[in-house]
Amino acid sequence: MLLGFAFLVLLFFSYFENVFFFQILNTLFQNQILAFLMIFIHNVTVISLILLAMTFYVNLVAQGIFKDQKYEYVILEHPRTFAALFTIIIVFLSILRAATLVFGEIRVEELPKILLISAPIAIIEGFPIYLTIKKTLNRTISLKDLAYIYGIFFVAAVIELSFIRLFM
């Protein structure tokens, strides 16, 4: 129950962080340090929410809440497949959200170009998302793993800010 409550609180705060982040996006990139911190905090918030949600789900299933159900265990029996699918969905929706902010709508004709430009950052940010989900579903995530994951997001924030500066 505590994990579920923590998830809801973080989800509530992440909504306001997301709205604030996208409202100040234009002025944010005038200060590189502030832009880096916002990108990094945004990514850490997202991965922390994913970690809490997956941990909550794993604990529900492990405690036997779904005793006579067979579909709830499929995710725990195939963590790599689910982690890969969930990562692809998260990254693709993130790219679509960015395209909506840039163009005001999703332009199908511009989508391949946006996907190509976003691919390096999507790969760098997708790997720690995949790793977090897979290790959480396997119940093998440790503090060392979290430090490694947050370190990748640190590097990704630097690269993302560099790409944004390059294209501005």
Confidence label for 33 from pLDDT (cuts 50, 70 and 90) = confident
What's the whole-model pTM score?
0.82
Q: Which of 75, 76, 59, 50 has the alpha carbon at shortest distance from 133?
A: 50
Residue type, 114: I
Euclidean distance between the first and the last CA atom of the chain, given in angstroms as a whole number? 45
Q: Residue-wise over 42-68: b if at least 16 C-beta within 10 A, else e? A: bbebbbbbbbbbbbbbbeebeeeeeee
Q: Report pLDDT for 152.
A: 94
- Both structure tokens of 54: 């997956």
Which whole number is the average pLDDT over 52-63? 85
Question: Tens digits of per-residue pLDDT, 122-155?
Answer: 899 999 999 999 999 999 999 999 999 999 999 9
Average pLDDT over the chain reads 83
More confident residue, 4 or 32: 32
- Contact residues for 86 (Cβ-Cβ < 8 A; gap 6+): 129, 133
Q: Is residue 103 predicted with pLDDT exceeding 70?
A: no
Residue 144: give the domain boundaries. Answer: 2-167
For residue 39, pLDDT beyond 90: no
Task: Mean pLDDT check: name the lowest of 46-50, 51-55, 87-91, 115-119.
Answer: 115-119
Q: How many domains does the chain have?
A: 1
Alpha-carbon distance 99 to 61, whole Å? 37
Instruction: Give the residue, 1 or 152, on which the prediction is more confident.
Output: 152
